[in-house]
């Protein structure tokens, strides 16, 4: 597909639906932590372990699947990947203890890690000359799922109880049947002859230094974002909000990120990626710090602004890396989403342990200033937008 070609809306919708469905079910766990604390006595450290293990699975699995998706041009990674969270995440509602809860969440996360590289690698193939905006649309599927999922599951669990969660898989199974009919197979990128490490080298080529800088920024952004998202629900329940209200705050955070991601993708197609990175990461730290100081209804407004800043650059890291290293789109996507997102989120057990010792508020206040560490790295980004250097 050449740069002047139009986007294939039908295929992009199917890929976005895969993303939405898998992430919709994956979003159930975090806002239910307060209920799991009540039911099985989870500590903040155990919450951090559950979150960290799921992120670590992404860290390990996504680059491998990114390679295998090129070596074997099959839909199995996408369809089996989206099926696993649909089946296993609802089973968390009947988990009798920490280890069974961890197993169910881990299996769901395993599936989520399977479908992301293949699906993300296909987005630029069908996006025409709007890769940044198309990637933001695709990312909208995930972030919107993480916005709507917590609202739905906190209402559902509050009304019917955790024991009724397995019934929610019915909707997901219907969607998977539909996706089976329309999702295209991945395209080979010609890297399978090189082996895993050879594929990484050939995918990145001479752009490896710039991609490494983007990756480092994405790791730090993921650490900040996942720290807030993991402990946000428990934090606001401790402050006196209901489980549903905490779910609303969580959802607002992610939905605001959906809107800001779309805006960031559109703007980056016009002025390039680097200015958008600079703007969002300069303001991320003060916005997060102020968010933690808010009380009452002001928390909802703060969640909108904080979510917009934290999540705006998430799709840009993938799109920018794929622009710089277009030869291996699935591999590059897995490095930016799985490898970076997983490593950043894998530190959640440490955050949880520190929160048990000090408090969630104190630890998140420290975490809020980590985005400042990304600014020297962003300053070294090349000036590039979709298809050209500036």
The CA-CA-CA angle for residues 289, 292, 295, to 5°, reads 135
Q: What is the mean pLDDT of the chain?
A: 82
State residue 130's pLDDT score.
65
Q: How confident is the model at residue 9 (pLDDT cuts 50, 70, 90)?
A: confident
123 compared with 93, residue with greater pLDDT = 93
| Residues 6+ positions from 181 with CB-CB distance below 8 Å | none
Report which of 126, 140, 131 is spatially closest to residue 20, judged by C-alpha positions: 140
* Statement: residue 159 has pLDDT above 70: yes
CB 284 within 8 A of CB 373: no
* Position 235 confidence tier, pLDDT thresholds 50, 70, 90: very high
Residues with Cβ within 8 Å of residue 71, at least 6 apart in sequence:
191, 192
Q: Is the pLDDT of residue 194 over 60?
A: no
Mean pLDDT of the 144-151 span: 84
Tokens (6 digits) for 9:
């809306």
pTM listed for this prediction? 0.75
pLDDT value of residue 115: 81
**Residue 195 scores a pLDDT above 60:** no
Question: What pLDDT digit, counting tens, does each position of 304-315 carry?
Answer: 999 999 988 887
pLDDT at 228 over 90: yes
CB contact at 8 A, 184 and 123: no
Report which of residues 2 and 222 the model is more confident about. 222
The whole-number average pLDDT for the span 115-138 is 73
* Residue range 17-26: mean pLDDT, rounded: 90
Q: What percent of the chain has pLDDT over 90?
A: 32
pLDDT beyond 90 at 291: yes
Closest CA to 331 of 121, 28, 99, 102: 121
pLDDT for 329: 62
* Weakest mean pLDDT among 186-190, 329-333, 376-380: 186-190
Neighbours of 72 (CB within 10 A): 13
Name which of 72-76, 166-170, 252-256, 316-320 the model is least confident about.
72-76
Asked whether the predicted pLDDT for residue 265 surpasses 90, the reply is no
Nearest CA-CA partner of 26 in 244, 208, 206, 254: 254
Distance CA 62, CA 118 (A): 9
More confident residue, 121 or 81: 81
Measuring CA to CA, how many Å separate 74 from each of 8, 37, 126, 173, 182? Answer: 20, 40, 17, 20, 14
Q: At what angle do helices 243-271 and 208-238 cross, to 10 degrees?
A: 160
**For residue 4, what pLDDT is reported?**
47
Q: Does pLDDT of 2 surpass 60?
A: no
Contact 224, 284 (CB under 8 A): yes
390 SS3 class? coil
> Which of 338, 345, 341, 318 lies closest to 115 in space, CA to CA?
338
Task: List helix spans (H) across the chain.
Answer: 9-26, 33-40, 44-71, 76-88, 98-122, 131-160, 169-182, 195-204, 208-238, 243-271, 273-293, 298-311, 314-324, 329-334, 340-345, 348-357, 360-367, 375-378
> Which is higher by pLDDT, 174 or 146?
174
Q: What is the DSSP secondary structure assignment for residue 369, as one 8-state letter?
A: T
Q: Is the pLDDT of residue 196 over 60?
A: no
pLDDT higher than threshold 90 for residue 279: yes
- Buried b or exposed e, range 199-232, using 16+ CB within 10 angstroms: bbebbbeebeebbebbbbbbbbbbbbbbbbbbbb
């Amino acid at each position: 597909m050449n740069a002047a070609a139009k986007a294939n809306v039908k295929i992009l919708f199917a890929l976005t639906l895969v993303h939405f469905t898998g992430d919709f079910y994956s979003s159930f766990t975090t806002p239910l932590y307060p209920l799991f604390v009540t039911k099985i006595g989870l500590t903040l450290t155990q919450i951090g372990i559950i979150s960290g293990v799921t992120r670590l699975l992404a860290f390990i699995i996504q680059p491998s699947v990114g390679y295998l998706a090129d070596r074997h041009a099959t839909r199995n990674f996408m369809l089996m990947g989206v099926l696993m969270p649909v089946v296993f995440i609802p089973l968390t509602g009947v988990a009798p203890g920490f280890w069974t809860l961890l197993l169910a969440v881990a299996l769901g996360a395993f599936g989520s890690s399977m479908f992301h590289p293949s699906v993300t690698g296909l987005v630029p193939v069908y996006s025409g000359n709007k890769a940044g905006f198309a990637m933001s649309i695709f990312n909208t599927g995930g972030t919107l799922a993480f916005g709507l999922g917590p609202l739905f599951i906190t209402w559902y669990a509050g009304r019917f109880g955790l024991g009724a969660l397995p019934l929610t898989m019915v909707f997901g199974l219907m969607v998977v049947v539909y996706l089976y009919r329309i999702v295209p197979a991945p395209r080979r990128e010609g890297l399978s002859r090189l082996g895993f490490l050879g594929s990484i080298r050939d995918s990145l080529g001479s752009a490896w230094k710039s991609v490494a800088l983007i990756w480092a920024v994405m790791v730090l952004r993921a650490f900040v974002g996942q720290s807030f998202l993991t402990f946000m629900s428990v934090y606001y329940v401790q402050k006196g909000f209901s489980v549903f209200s905490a779910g609303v705050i969580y959802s607002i955070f992610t939905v605001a990120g959906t809107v800001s991601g779309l805006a960031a993708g559109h703007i980056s197609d016009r002025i390039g990626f680097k200015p958008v990175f600079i703007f969002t990461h300069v303001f991320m730290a003060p916005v997060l710090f102020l968010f933690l100081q808010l009380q009452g209804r002001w928390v909802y407004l703060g969640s909108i602004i904080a979510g917009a800043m934290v999540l705006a650059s998430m799709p840009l890291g993938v799109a920018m890396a794929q622009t710089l290293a277009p030869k291996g789109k699935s591999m590059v996507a897995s490095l930016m989403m799985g490898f970076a997102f997983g490593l950043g989120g894998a530190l959640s057990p440490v955050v949880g342990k520190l929160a048990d010792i000090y408090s969630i508020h104190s630890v998140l206040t420290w975490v809020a200033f980590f985005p400042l560490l990304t600014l020297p790295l962003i300053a070294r980004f090349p000036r590039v937008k979709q298809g050209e250097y500036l």
